[in-house]
Structure 1
Amino acid sequence: MPHWLLRLRAMGWLLMGRQEAAERVFGDMLARWPRDAYALASRSFVRAQLGRRGEAIEDARRLVDAHPQRSAGDWFNLGFLLEADGQLGEAVDAFGQAVARDAKLDRAWYGLGLALLRQGRREEAVQALQRNTELQPMSPYGWYHLARAQADCQRPEEARRIIRHLQGFEPRIAAQLERETGLAAAS
């Protein structure tokens, strides 16, 4: 069966919510074309959806090994899976590869910041989260973690500045930060 027809079959299974059947088709594709980027990325995604993170990570690693320059998104996906699996050092490396390939990939900066925070590397996390908030200024998630990191780094004025900023568009998150850090924005 030609490649295009296998892709179409897999997409059909996915549209019908039949991830296991789609996974088998991707496996058939990889048996014929072991380095096929589409099949590796898709099977990794399906395996993650099925809760088989280890196998998803294996496919994501195979993808970036076979096609390291293809996409910053491939590296982000690997980092996301590794971070969720607690493999923080490798996650930091994967997120670093993602931002090296696309310095504007805000979600990779966010993932890098979270992984660094989980490693206790707060100063480096602050830098990554600052970049994330520059790229995604209206998303409260990067701001939230940046404020927490600033407070943990003994920079209460920076944390207060972020809380004041969040009061303008996410007052509930700002109030949560005030409770969690003990820092009032007005102080």
Structure 2
Amino acid sequence: MKSLTYRWLRWRAQAMILVGRHAAALDVFDEMLLRFPGDAYVLASRAHLRAQLGQREAAQADYRDLLAAHPEHSAASWFNYGYLLEEAGDLAQAEQAFRRAVSMDPRLDRAWYGLGLVLIRTRRFDEAVEVLKRNTELQPMSPYGWYQLARVHVDRHEPEEARRIIRHLKGFEPKVAAQLERETGLSA
């Protein structure tokens, strides 16, 4: 059981976030880390808040510290770290983080999608197809995975597969289907 001091500080940080005093919440998290070095909750919370505030490098550093000290913390933390790395262009590290996330939680559709984006950016289209198929199995009504999958099929010179996806998207996301038709020159 955590100490009364820990619970009080945690409550203060949450209250500061709730009322929009983000800098004060960061100060509380800093104090908590001084008192409770390496605490998983504090590192994850501070990393998340820093990412929301646009402090990407600081958020990455917190996730690095968190996942070095607590590698089994959560698939969501690995995903968040991978997202920040992908956004920063560190594709090799992002791929590792996304793969760790999906190994911990194979149903984490966001991590499959992030991994797919990394594979696309590294032009590993065959792998991207498999990963994006997994994403669309987990999130069949989300257009994002379908959109990227269609684009990969175009890049692989498989227009019929892309057309099939465009037809599928017309059933529930006609605007995304129309966008793909415009971008690819293919019609369903």
The alignment's TM-score, normalised by the length of structure 1, stands at 0.96
Is 1:145 the counterpart of 2:148 in the alignment? Answer: yes
Task: Determine which of 44, 48, 55 is the counterpart of 2:58.
Answer: 55
> Tell me, which stretches of 5 or more residues in structure 1 are unaligned?
none
Percent identical pairs in the alignment equals 61
Written as runs of structure 1 = structure 2, the 5 A alignment for 1:1-187 is: 2-185=5-188
RMSD of aligned residue pairs (Cα, Å)? 0.9
Between 1:5-14 and 1:60-69, the stretch displaced more is: 60-69
Shift of 1:105: 0.4
Q: Deviations over 1:130-159 (max 9, x none)?
A: 100000000001100010011101111111
The offset of 1:173, in angstroms, is 0.5
Deviation at 1:21, TM superposition (A): 0.7
Looking at structure 2, the residues matched to 75 and 48 of structure 1 have their Cα atoms a distance apart, in angstroms, of 14
For structure 2, which runs of at least 5 residues remain unmatched after alignment? Answer: none
Tell me the distance in 2 between the aligned counterparts of 1:103 and 1:46.
Answer: 26
> How many residues are treated as equivalent by the alignment?
185
Q: Give 2:127's aligned amino acid.
A: E
Distance 1:34 1:118 in 2: 37
Deviation at 1:70, TM superposition (A): 2.0
Distance between the aligned counterparts of 1:109 and 1:141, measured in 2? 12
CA distance in structure 2 between the aligned counterparts of 1:78 and 1:88, rounded to whole angstroms: 12
